Every structure is written in C-alpha cells, then in structure tokens.
Amino acid sequence: MIYVLITLIAVAVVLFVLTFFMNDKFDDLESQFEQFSISTMQDTYQLKKKIKILEEELLAEDMANDIQPQQRMGIKPLLIQKVHALHEQGYSTETIAKQTELNSSDIKAILRNK
C-alpha cells in the first residue's frame, strides 16, 4: 500500500512539473483570438473610412447635380425671354437664331410655346 501511495505521489509530482514545461494550449488560443480580434477591428475601421469617403463623394456629386439644373433653369428663361423680345421687335427667326446661337427650328419652337 505504501508503494502505491509513493508511486501515485511520484506520478502526481512528475505530472505537476510537466504542466509547467508543456506549451499551454489555452495561451495559444487566447493569442490567436486576440490577433483575430485586432485584425477584424482594423478591417472594420478601414471599411468605415472607405464608406465615409464614398458618402462624401456622393454628397458632392448630388450637390453639383442640384446646382447645375438650377443654373440651367436660370439661363433658359433668360434665353427664352430674349427670343420673345427680339421677335416682338420684329426680327426674323434667322436673325434671332444667329444672335442667340440657336437653330431656327428651336426659335420657332420657342415662339410656338408662348
């Protein structure tokens, strides 16, 4: 019985000492998880930056598109007013076309749509 106890204690001591020298798998798993977590955070940060840049580009394009139609609408009525004024002064459609740099068919269409 004493031999069994001594053997068990010896095996326990040997196993206890071996646990200190063996590579701990939990530490490896923990470090792998940390690396995965860090890389995931970096990826999400980069994606957020790219999304922010794309949103800014889209907003800039939308603002440019909103400004251009307003400018065009401001120009067209002035041109139409000029065509009507020249027509009322008695100018021919060809003369009005030369002065406004439009086609005579465009001038006729403008005059028809009073």
Q: What is the pLDDT of residue 68?
A: 55
Q: What is the pLDDT of residue 8?
A: 94
Q: Which token pair is 13?
A: 């001591």
111, exposed or middle or buried, with CB in 10 Å at 0-12, 13-18, 19+? middle
User: By percentage, how much of the chain surpasses pLDDT 90?
Assistant: 33
Kindly indicate the confidence band of residue 101, based on its pLDDT and cuts at 50, 70 and 90.
Answer: confident
- Of 64, 113, 105, 57, the closest CA to residue 84 belongs to 113
